[in-house]
Amino acid sequence: MAFTLSDQGRDAASSLIPSGLELRRRKRLGAMLARAEREGARLQFWARSAALVAVALFFLFFAKWNGAFAFTFSSLVFFFLVGLFQYRLVKRRRDPAWLSFAVGTLDIVLLTCLLVGENPFARDAMPAAINLRDGSFAFLLIFVCLGALTLSTRLALWLGAMAAISWTAAIAWVASRPEAIVLNARMADLSTSDRMQLYLDPNFVDIIQQSAHVVLILIVTGILAIVVSRSRQLADDYVVAERARINLARHFSPNVVDELASADEPFGPVRRQEVAILFADIVGFTTYSEDHPAEEVFELLREFHRRMEQVVFDHGGTVDNYIGDSIMATFGVPQAAGDDAGRALRCAQAMAAAVRQWNVRRVAAGYVAIDVRIGVQYGPVVVGAVGSERSLSIAVVGDACNVASRLQVLCRELDADICFGAALIDAVRREGSADFLSGIIDHGPAALRGRDEPVHVFTMPKQG
């Protein structure tokens, strides 16, 4: 068997990528994440707009309609327009890298001023210390969370830091006002009545509580930054895994790739199992090679292998080897199934049909038709890994392989498209797939080169 897993194939997926490609991979990942950040900016706009609409509706239903309400509502409209401006630039891809940071900072500073500062149109303005106490800092977390939607770790950290700094500045501003009452002793040292008196005073600034709010902002920021960073790392890991899988798929069948990708020891110890073996070969390829340019011969091989490989994959088989103009496929490797023989038989029939269709196109294009013969056998083989740790090969060894190869050669003598061993036909019947035996003829025993005993052969006569 000829597929090889080299360069520590059982190591981590990243080791499958040559180091010379790492920088290009990182560049592609960076471009992908940049696109994700732009898409996140669009998502941020719509989430931001939805949040502003929700706040506006709240004020519409519960606030008193006066000058103060108009000022607050106008502020919400201003926030929307700022977000719309940024969204338009992002949509046109004309946004500089610093724009999100600048807009986010502007949002947080203005929102802090709106939450803590005095409303110029309010007749009975609440003391600034009261504005600190009602949990208004939580609105700042909305803008921090919106920044995380862009999947930019730096933006999430920046906005969180700006929110903490802005709220700290607000606390300092309120505490510095002449009417503010700031406790110089520990709250626990005061009596219950003194604590209640302080809490009831509208000018009391609880520095401990406000410091806890700042710490909470920083904690939430850290969590969001970790989540964003983890998301980016998962994207990186996904790119590495998919690249490794693509590299494997260039050499192995899909079912082998799945086995290699899902297990540390995908093939385990050497084992004996029954497998269906298929050989397909172009008749007269040597003569064709002598009579046609090398480029045309090479293109014929590539197209032949591509078409036959696809048929094998469509029937759940494994392409075991390409040997010049021949292709070897197995059914039941790496894991046996209950219909291996039936899939091998149907694959051989589909191969013959695919070649006939291909010949129609070749003749119409002015090329000669090709003659492909196929041999299929079923029987016990030994499957196991051979080679070194750096160059791992999976070998399928057994008499069934030799018989399948000889049956393919016998097709020319019997003027058949496909020759099947009796063991395969019996296996197909045991699987309950006898319906697929229509058109197959019992030729009887036939002598095969290199074998003392004849082999019972079934054939599918040549068509077209």
**Is cis: bond before 334, omega within 30 of 0?**
yes
Among residues 340, 312, 324, 339, the alpha carbon closest in space to that of 254 is found at 312
pTM: 0.52
- Positive or negative, the Cα torsion across 185, 186, 192, 197? positive
Return the pLDDT at 29: 58
2 pLDDT band (50/70/90 cuts)? very low
Return the pLDDT at 162: 93
- Token code pair at residue 387: 């080679």
In contact, 423 and 400? CB cutoff 8 Å: yes
In contact, 71 and 110? CB cutoff 8 Å: no
Return the pLDDT at 219: 94
Among 94-98, 230-234, 364-368, the least confident range: 94-98
Looking only at the bridges linking them, the beta strands covering 455-461 and 416-421 are: antiparallel
How much of the chain exceeds pLDDT 70, in percent? Answer: 80
pLDDT at 331 over 60: yes
Return the pLDDT at 265: 53
Return the pLDDT at 284: 85
Give the residue-averaged pLDDT of 416-431: 92
Q: Where in the chain is the domain with CATH 3.30.70.1230?
A: 254-461
Instruction: Read off the amino acid at residue 198.
Output: L
30 pLDDT band (50/70/90 cuts)? low
236 vs 307: which has the higher pLDDT:
307
189 vs 290: which has the higher pLDDT:
290
190 vs 222: which has the higher pLDDT:
222
Among residues 234, 174, 230, 236, the alpha carbon closest in space to that of 204 is found at 174
Looking only at the bridges linking them, the beta strands covering 441-446 and 4-6 are: unpaired
Give the residue-averaged pLDDT of 217-221: 93
pLDDT at 279 over 90: yes
3 pLDDT band (50/70/90 cuts)? very low
Return the pLDDT at 7: 41
What CATH number matches the domain at 254-461, 3.40.50.150, 3.30.70.1230, 3.10.450.50, 1.10.3720.10? 3.30.70.1230
Return the pLDDT at 40: 67
241's CB contacts (< 8 A; 6+ apart) are 13, 261
343-385 tens-digit pLDDT = 999 999 999 999 999 999 989 988 888 889 999 999 998 887 6
| Average pLDDT score, the chain | 80
Return the pLDDT at 18: 44
Q: ∠ at Cα 333 (330, 335), nearest 5°?
A: 145
Neighbours of 199 (CB within 10 A): 12
Distance of alpha carbon 144 from alpha carbon 100, whole angstroms: 12
pLDDT at 17 over 70: no
pLDDT at 37 over 50: yes
Distance of alpha carbon 132 from alpha carbon 172, whole angstroms: 11
216 pLDDT band (50/70/90 cuts)? very high
Q: What are phi and psi of 267, to 5 degrees?
A: -110, -10
pLDDT at 244 over 80: no
101-156 tens-digit pLDDT = 888 888 888 888 888 877 777 777 677 788 887 777 888 888 888 888 877 888 88
Nearest-Å Rg of the Cα atoms of the chain is 37
Return the pLDDT at 186: 64
450-460 tens-digit pLDDT = 777 889 999 98
Return the pLDDT at 187: 63
Looking only at the bridges linking them, the beta strands covering 326-331 and 271-283 are: antiparallel
47-60 tens-digit pLDDT = 878 887 887 887 77
Start-to-end CA distance of the chain, whole Å, equals 32
Return the pLDDT at 179: 85
